[in-house]
Structure 1
Amino acid sequence: MNREIRNLLVAAAVAIVTVTSAVVTVVQAGGDGTRKITGTSDAAPGLGWSVDAAATYGRAFAEFRDPRSGSEFDWGDPGFVISGDVVVTMIGVSHGEMNLQDATMFGIDAVGGEVRWQSPADDLAGCASTPVDGRLVCFTSPLVEEPALVGFDLDTGEITRTPTEWMVFAIAADGDRLYVAEGDIEDDDVRLHAGTLADPDAQWSQPFVMGSVWEDDLTDVLDVSHGQGVFTLGADVAGFDLDSGRPTWTTRLEGCSRVAPSDGGVLVRFRTECDGHRITGSDVIDRGGRTIVSVDGEVAQSLSFDAPADESIPLLVGDGAYDRRTGDLRWTSPDLISPREPDEYNASTALGTAVAVVGDVVLLRDYSAKTTTALDLRTGDRLWHRDDESFRTVGALDGQLVLTVGDGIRAVDARTGESPWDASFLAINDDPDTLSSNGMLATSDPGRYVYASARTMIGLRPLPR
């Protein structure tokens, strides 16, 4: 496919993002570096540091962006990749343009908030979700003059470029291995490679006869983090062995169906009609390509966080829990279903309520009844059930704690339902535009958290005793 045509197609699919002004100040905690947040309990973390995007970058209107989305287009999503004591984020200026102007990658100390390094990050089409071999690895748009895989050293920001003639459209990393997807997706002529940044096909290369169109969202086409490889392009899905690249199974997605990999090398396929996006059922496919569970109905369990304790924890499908190795039904619960009123965008009359699996507990949210419930995943028994008008989006996990984000950050113990602490954003900064609910939250270490909105990134850590 002609590269200029691809550029026009992708550009047509990108929404122009208008960014707001940023406060050109940097707030750093004094003394021991941790400030108690007004109105919080003794169990709450304090504010360890705060970094302003515009002040750090040196230009008004600069904002944080998620490196995983790249800089070729400005998708408007704040975020970062965290590894050990380094937070890697991107800062740039949009000015209403489709690309992120003068994008720069920053390495920020997760403990103290100091900027360790900064490096230019223009023309990046995307980055891997996890570092590999001490580097965050990204890939340039294939339309640039010298396409390359680009590695940012986590400690120094030093850039390593591996030139390539491939038309790369996705990368992933796991352990010490880099996976690269490249080719012309509109001609069903694609390949996967496994290797390193310096030698990206050192371990194996494997062709796949599958494809899509360039307008599709290619963000999540490659998954290598659940015990097997899953490669999804348009209606085509293939499993592959991570060590050899050998294809292990294939399946098709009808209509507007989608898939979600889960631990144990299983995949959940949600059968979805394009008209009204009505879900008609769910299937579980094991690592050998067998359909071990097939359930009809409108309910899909779509988890924000899926962190089962081990493979003995059952998988939630419809209103039941199934053994992820055999497909046997373990238990059912009406708590897994919530009624809903169909609207112009969705014809379904029921919703799945599961929002997070934490060890052997699943947290459920019934948005119609405004209740939150926790079930023991091994038995299906209720652990607790509460009216909860102010439930927020699940942002991160920390052991048994579920951290939710709304007008602040709240911790909820998944097993007891107790909330040991709640920190309001306005108590951290009284400017309501400084911290917003559409940011990214992550756990850097137990009891330590990083949150980034478009304008501000903060580090929370335990108060000194």
Structure 2
Amino acid sequence: MGSAAQWFTGANRWRLWIAGLVVVVAAGVLVIAWPDSSTKKSAPPAPVAGGRFRVTTVLDSTPAAAWTVRAADLSSEPGAVLLSVPHSLDRYYGFSSPMDAGTTIVAATAVPASVSDGTGVPVGPVRLHGLDSDTGKPRWTTDVGELTSCGERVFAGMLTCKGAHRILIIDSATGSVVTDRTTDFEVVDVQVRDGVVSVAGRTADGQSAVITRGTVADIAATWSKTYPTAVPGEPVQPRLDPPDYFRLGRDSHVQVYDLRSGEPLFTGPVGNIFDGGIIASQVIDRSGTAGTVALLGRDGHLITDVANATFMLEWYPAASAAPLPIMTGESAYDRTTGAILWTNPEIRISDVAGGKSAVQGVVRDTVIIRSQDGTTLSGLDLTDGHRIWQRPSPFEHASQFTLYDGVTDATHLILTDGVTVQAIDAADGSPVWSMSLPPNGDPRTRAQVRALAGRMVITTAQDFTGYGV
């Protein structure tokens, strides 16, 4: 859930008198606002196949440390350090992080040119290491030379990395290089989905985007096209949104294209594109608040305006058998049609920066949210949005400014405020276990709880430790 602050406003009193009332709008969409309920009756839980920030072992009690990895455990090069994967592979800022590659944890080491002063110093050739999540031991090590970053998401085990004029694709299970080629354009993004390789880049003058579509053997096997910048004189910044779209431009001049054909779809203030194909426009208010948000279809047609908009950030743990809705503003929307599923004003919180999401995680059929002041957590039913439990926050000094990271094991929501880790039962909100985080060792960052290759991992500035069985 990153560093974004998330709180919520309390339920509006006027909604209480319509408890249980069913309102069928013209489009045939059912919107329900429910009062609190002390009990929750549901069918036996359905199996959960995947999720976001999810560990595969149920953590019913305080987990023990299983292994710890430091730079010296992976590299014998004098002065080698752990880098921050996937984003900072060309410079060292004094702290590190590994990344999730499905069944493998990927770490990177290199030797900095000098002692880090906090602004980032160049590093030498990079080595990537694929680690076993059960032991922390390397399964493979691959010398990859100079790189700038890798893609944040790994599909079908393909790790995509790039340099200024280089594309590198690695099989994350074995470390074998699938593709390593140079380009005559600057590489901005590389994605592999369903065996198709998409590459976004730009020409030397920055005034034209280059998009290719192909295979690992030939990145332009399907097509290769160039597109002029949307704002003359301004460098183009292409962005891939596979499997459906790519976009160019910014603010109100975002051009959305069909990634399969390269043909233009529409131009507008696109702020987010969700898995499932729904596109969200967002016009930021001049004061910097969330402004106005609307959900759009593939060709840019309006599906619905989002009431009391929030900034759109889906960066929370999730493990549910049912498809997750898009939760923004005060409502939940179907991820493929954009239809309103339910409304509950508690999922939106307000502060001077505008509306933000109160959602901390989704565990099976429970949406866990926090209060405006951060002192309580509540569980909402995923299917209709009514509140099923509310409890005091397990964090001793919780406030509206508390920031959380977290994971889920599909039974518990496990959160950290940078000082302690707290696990709660998602079904009723009861606290299950807690533990203290190890010292981070760098005042600019904080220790985090991550889900990496199905394992709960705590990362600090200089090492990372796997927990649980």
Give the shorter-chain TM-score range: 0.7 to 0.9
Counterpart of 2:346 in 1: which secondary structure? helix
Following the alignment from structure 2 to structure 1, what is the Cα–Cα distance between the partners of residues 363 and 283?
26
Tell me, in whole angstroms, the C-alpha distance in 1 between the residues paired with 2:175 and 2:323.
Answer: 41
| Pairs within 5 Å for 1:58-457 | 58=76, 62-74=80-92, 78-94=96-112, 95-96=115-116, 98-102=120-124, 103-131=126-154, 135-142=158-165, 148-159=166-177, 160-184=179-203, 188-210=207-229, 221-224=239-242, 228-235=244-251, 236-242=253-259, 244-247=260-263, 249-253=265-269, 259-273=271-285, 275-295=286-306, 297=308, 299-305=310-316, 307=318, 309=320, 313-340=324-351, 342=352, 346=353, 348=354, 350-388=355-393, 390=395, 393-405=404-416, 406-426=418-438, 433=441, 437-439=446-448, 441-445=450-454, 448-457=455-464
Q: Check 1:394–1:133 CA distance in 2 against 1; reply closer, same or farther (3 A cut).
A: closer
Contact 2:136 2:466 in 1 (8 A): yes
Q: Please list the CA deviations of residues 93-146 of structure 1 after superposition, one character each: whole Å capped at 9, or x if unmatched.
A: 55236444123322222221112333334431221234466542211113xxxx
Sort the Cα spacing of 1:295 and 1:113 in 2 relative to 1 into closer, same or farther, 3 A: closer
* Partner residue in 1 for 2:10: none
CA shift in 2, pair 1:419/1:173, >3 Å: farther
Letter in 2 for 1:452: T
Q: Is the 8 A contact 2:72 2:80 kept in 1?
A: yes
SS at match of 1:69: coil
Number of residues paired by the alignment?
396
Between 1 and 2, higher relative CO (CA 8 Å, sep ≥ 6) is seen in 2
Give how far 1:57 is off.
3.2
**SS of the residue 2:74 aligns to:** helix
Aligned partners of 1:127 and 1:137 also within 8 Å: yes
Q: What is the alpha-carbon distance in structure 1 between the residues aligned to residue 265 and residue 378 of structure 2? A: 37
SS where residue 124 of structure 1 aligns? Answer: coil
SS in 2 for 1:374: strand
**In structure 1, the residue corresponding to 2:453 is in which secondary structure?**
strand
The Cα of 1:49 is off from its aligned counterpart by 0.9
Shift of 1:441: 0.9
CA RMSD of aligned residues (A): 3.6
**Measured at CA, do residues 140 and 369 of structure 1 come closer, stay the same or move farther in structure 2, by a change above 3 Å?**
closer
The secondary structure found in structure 1 opposite 2:86 is helix
TM-score (norm 1): 0.72
Matches within 5 A, 1:39-50: 43-50=61-68
The 1:213–1:456 alpha-carbon spacing in structure 2 relative to 1, beyond 3 Å, is farther
1:432 CA drift (Å): 5.1
Structure 1 residue 50: Cα displacement: 0.7
- The offset of 1:51, in angstroms, is 0.9
Using the alignment, how far apart are the partners of 2:75 and 2:245 within structure 1?
38
Residue identity in the other structure for 1:316? M
Normalised by the length of structure 2, the TM-score is: 0.72
Letter in 1 for 2:213: A
Q: What is the distance in 2 between the residues matched to 1:180 and 1:408?
A: 41
Retained in 2: the 8 A contact 1:45–1:460? Answer: yes
Alignment partners' CA distance in 2, 1:386 and 1:153: 45
**Contact 1:184–1:190 under 8 Å retained in 2:** yes
Deviation track 1:289-343 (CA, whole Å, cap 9, x = no partner) reads 2221213545335332375857865432312233445444343223123342x3x
Which residue matches 1:19? none
Runs of 5+ in structure 2 lacking a partner? 1-58
Letter in 2 for 1:449: M
CA distance in 2, matches of 1:328, 1:85: 35
In structure 2, relative to structure 1, the CA distance for the partners of 1:93 and 1:371 (3 Å cut) is farther
* One-letter identity of the residue aligned with 1:237: V
Change (3 A) 1:260 1:177: same
Q: C-alpha distance in 2, partners of 1:375/1:180?
A: 40
SS at match of 1:335: helix
- C-alpha separation between the residues in 2 aligned to 1:232 and 1:308? 32
Q: Are the counterparts in 2 of residues 400 and 413 from structure 1 also a CA contact under 8 Å? A: yes
In the TM superposition, residue 408 of structure 1 has moved relative to its aligned partner by 4.2
Equivalents in 2 of 1:158, 1:282: separation in Å?
44
Q: After TM superposition, give the deviation of residue 394 of structure 1 in Å.
A: 3.1
Structure 2 distance, partners of 1:329, 1:441, is: 32
* Distance in 1 between residues matched to 2:76 and 2:234, nearest whole Å: 35
Please give the alpha-carbon distance, in whole angstroms, between the structure 2 residues aligned to 1:437 and 1:204.
Answer: 44
Moved more, 275-284 or 125-134: 125-134
Pick closer, same or farther for the CA change 1:300–1:261 going to 2, 3 Å. Answer: same
Q: Which moved more, 1:194-203 or 1:184-193?
A: 184-193
